[in-house]
């Protein structure tokens, strides 16, 4: 497979697919394709894995697109202004991504649910609780809300991230949802009740414009049913 990412802040990844080669994506992610791309809807691993993807914010079923009779072309556009990142997944380097962050991947990639270590804090921590795990081998494309900032954390090094701003992290990183310290800070600080603490070693990708933050900013401009 060959690909190119175009569109600036309204990105699309356009993939050139070899005969017999397949790509997987969530339902509705395909934007356009050549006529020789055959689509097949599949649970891709059975009911258990399909339910796991659903809890991670993805569709119950996935679509598999295979080029038949020659080289095919297929495009996947981002659902929100930002960027698309191509990441290489190997058995020894899986990646944890935000829910709904998966766009498309080669057929050797497996998508599963990833839960935080502390269930109780994660349960009330909003977006940071349930994330997705990309494992297997191949190229995957993930959506970033806004601009992507990348850091490499050494062992023991950590970053405190406002919930929702963590787009992806190597599986070697530990991710924990923690409550903001101090009652006054929680009530009047304006930063919410929870933060995400990511500890190295590993790479993390942060995003500047989470959909949830944009929705919260715009909510005050909409009338209440009038």
Residue 188 pLDDT > 50, yes or no? no
Outline where DSSP puts E strands in 27-127. Answer: 30-33, 37-42, 62-67, 72-77, 82-89, 95-98, 102-106, 109-115
pLDDT digits (tens, 9 = 90+) for 160-180: 998 789 999 999 999 888 876
pLDDT digits (tens, 9 = 90+) for 98-140: 888 999 999 999 988 887 655 444 444 444 467 889 999 999 9
For residue 121, give every residue at least 6 positions away whose Cβ sits within 8 Å of its Cβ, in sequence order, or none.
176, 177, 178, 179, 194
| pLDDT recorded at residue 105 | 97
Catalogue all structural domains in the chain, each as residue range(s) with its CATH number: 2-218 (3.60.160.10)
| pLDDT recorded at residue 181 | 62
How many whole angstroms separate alpha carbon 110 and alpha carbon 218?
A: 35
pLDDT digits (tens, 9 = 90+) for 55-71: 544 556 789 999 999 99
Better pLDDT: 119 or 195: 195
Q: Tell me what the mean pLDDT of segment 30-35 comes to.
A: 97
């Amino acid at each position: 497979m060959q690909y190119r990412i175009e569109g600036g802040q309204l990105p699309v990844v356009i993939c050139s697919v070899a005969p017999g080669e397949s790509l997987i994506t969530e339902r509705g992610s395909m934007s356009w394709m050549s006529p020789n791309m055959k689509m097949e809807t599949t649970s891709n691993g059975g009911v258990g894995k399909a339910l796991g993807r659903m809890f991670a914010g993805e569709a119950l079923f996935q679509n598999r697109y295979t080029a038949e009779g020659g080289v095919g072309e297929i495009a996947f556009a981002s659902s929100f202004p930002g960027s698309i990142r191509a990441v290489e997944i190997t058995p020894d380097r899986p990646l944890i991504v935000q829910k709904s962050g998966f766009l498309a991947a080669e057929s050797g990639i497996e998508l599963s649910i990833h839960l935080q270590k502390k269930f109780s804090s994660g349960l009330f921590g909003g977006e940071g609780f349930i994330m997705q795990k990309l494992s297997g081998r191949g190229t995957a494309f993930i959506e970033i809300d806004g601009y992507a900032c990348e850091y490499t954390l050494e062992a023991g090094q950590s970053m405190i991230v406002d919930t929702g701003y963590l787009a992806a992290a190597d599986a070697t990183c530990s991710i924990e949802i923690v409550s903001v310290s101090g009652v006054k800070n929680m009530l009047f600080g304006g930063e919410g009740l929870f933060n995400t603490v990511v500890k190295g070693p590993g790479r993390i990708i942060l995003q500047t414009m989470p959909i949830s933050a944009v929705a919260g900013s715009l909510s005050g401009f909409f009338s209440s049913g009038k």
